[in-house]
Amino acid sequence: MNNIKQFKQMFLAQLKLTFREKQAWFWGIFFPVILMVIFMVIFSGGSNDEFSAKVAIVDENPNPTSETLLHQINALPVLEVESGGPVSREKADELVKDKDVDAAIILPESVDATSLLLVVNKENEQGITAQALSSILDKFVQQANLFAVGAEPIYELQFEAISSGSNELNYTDFLLTGMIALAIAQGGLFGMVDLVEMRRKGLIKRLRMTPANMNIFGLSDMIMRLLFSVIQIILLSLIGVLIFGAKLYINFPSLLIVFILGALSFNALGYFISSFSKTTEAYMGVANIFSFLMMFLSGIFIPVETMPDWIQPISNVLPLTYFVEGLRDSMVYSTSIFSGTLWLGIGILAIWGILSYLIGSWLYKRKSIVATR
């Protein structure tokens, strides 16, 4: 029996088994959709909205200074004042503790007082809203100081964002491609768990007693999983574009190469994990560790460049980092297939895939049979 015929028969057999397994459809297709929708809602829901914060104002001893500051604070469009006016300090503290407001602003209690007090909930002290409010009030105080001495501001800061891609790009586009990469990676990592059950039940041992080629057996399973990845990328892209308004600028030759190599590499990684896992629980534990590390260290939500210096070397060796970058290059930036940076990431993905597949095949040949005797 030649290798092509073996591959065809193994592929069709595994495809039939997968179609009969309802859990495979859930974890391979529907779960990634649910996961992407949750993260897209959390991280991109307010990305295009203007910043706003709800604050409580405390002016327990009204005076000309506090009245002037109160009038200027009410004029800030980004601040929504609780109850439409000042409240007591006790009430403001209660609102902050209960998180009914983002912060409380305590106005000066006398004409000679020279400070504003910003009160935030300690749990949200390092949050984006608290930091933004601190920056806004800091600028507000600087302008008030200039006004107090009769000085006119000479310089002003203007802000502009540019991109190496289309000027219409936004955060949703970047997040969508990251979530697609994560879904495909998890599909490969968790998709080979059935091989563990086959070995536990002795099916791998019986298969080895036949003329079947174990390399072809693993390859046929990975190619079958590739079909799931095709469905994933099409389905997730449609959801991102039609529901979340993402815009994609696809270079199809680049996308085809990145997608195929990325999906096969993560399928190979799942194949490798299955080769040394004796139980389903052990397999899921190792796969979850890989998935957890890559989810937060591969630049899906936070750019790798903004991570601490000691973490970046870890990110730079993870395969998902380069799969995310490759999908963004080919789906967002429309990067040409002749780009050197694109091929660098593709090369690292290929190394991960080839090594995982070869080591997994060797372990199946050498160790899995002994473990089932």
Write the CA distances from 204 to 16, 20, 173, 194, 371, integer angstroms.
18, 20, 43, 11, 11
Average of pLDDT values for 21-37?
71
Least confident of 80-84, 153-157, 261-265: 153-157
| C-alpha to C-alpha distance for 200 and 277, rounded to whole angstroms | 10
Q: Is 17 contained in some domain?
A: yes
Are residues 356 and 326 both part of a single domain?
Answer: yes
| Per-residue model confidence (pLDDT) at position 255 | 94
Which residue has 């085809």 as its token pair? 256
In this predicted structure, the answer to whether residue 49 has a pLDDT above a threshold of 70 is: no
Q: Are strands 117-119 and 103-106 parallel, antiparallel or unpaired?
A: antiparallel
| Per-residue model confidence (pLDDT) at position 359 | 92
More confident call, 209 vs 181:
181
Q: Is 163 contained in some domain?
A: no
More confident call, 211 vs 331:
331
Query: 87-142: per-residue pLDDT in tens?
Result: 999 999 999 998 889 999 998 888 777 778 899 988 888 777 888 888 888 877 77
> In the β-sheet with 53-58, what is the strand arrangement from edge to edge?
79-81, 53-58, 103-106, 117-119
Average of pLDDT values for 347-359?
93
| Per-residue model confidence (pLDDT) at position 370 | 47
Token reading at 361: 């095949």
Q: Is 230 contained in some domain?
A: yes
Q: Pick from 95, 117, 148: which residue ends a domain?
A: 148
Are residues 68 and 201 both part of a single domain?
Answer: no
Are residues 243 and 101 both part of a single domain?
Answer: no
Least confident of 148-157, 233-242, 329-338: 148-157
Percent of the chain with pLDDT strictly greater than 70 = 84
Q: Is 29 contained in some domain?
A: yes
Domain span at residue 19 reads 3-45+170-371
| C-alpha to C-alpha distance for 54 and 44, rounded to whole angstroms | 21
Q: How many domains would you assign to the chain?
A: 2
- Of the pLDDT bands very low, low, confident and very high (cuts 50, 70, 90), residue 24 is low
Q: Is 153 contained in some domain?
A: no
Average of pLDDT values for 272-288?
88
- Of the pLDDT bands very low, low, confident and very high (cuts 50, 70, 90), residue 371 is very low
Q: Pick from 148, 181, 198: which residue ends a domain?
A: 148
| Per-residue model confidence (pLDDT) at position 169 | 65
Q: Is 246 contained in some domain?
A: yes
Q: Is 157 contained in some domain?
A: no
Are residues 38 and 69 both part of a single domain?
Answer: no
Are residues 92 and 235 both part of a single domain?
Answer: no
| Per-residue model confidence (pLDDT) at position 157 | 59
Are residues 241 and 125 both part of a single domain?
Answer: no
| Per-residue model confidence (pLDDT) at position 322 | 94
| C-alpha to C-alpha distance for 177 and 233, rounded to whole angstroms | 9
Are residues 74 and 202 both part of a single domain?
Answer: no
Q: Among candidates 129, 154, 131, which has minimal Cα distance to 143?
A: 154
Are residues 280 and 353 both part of a single domain?
Answer: yes
Are residues 120 and 201 both part of a single domain?
Answer: no
Are residues 66 and 30 both part of a single domain?
Answer: no
Q: Is 8 contained in some domain?
A: yes
Q: Which residues of 182-205 are buried (b: 16+ CB within 10 A; e: fewer)?
A: bbbbbbbbbbbbbbbebbeeeebb
Are residues 354 and 333 both part of a single domain?
Answer: yes
Check which CATH number belongs to the domain holding 127 and give it. 3.40.1710.10
Are residues 249 and 105 both part of a single domain?
Answer: no
Average of pLDDT values for 32-38?
80
Query: 193-210: per-residue pLDDT in tens?
Result: 777 877 777 777 777 676
| C-alpha to C-alpha distance for 373 and 369, rounded to whole angstroms | 7
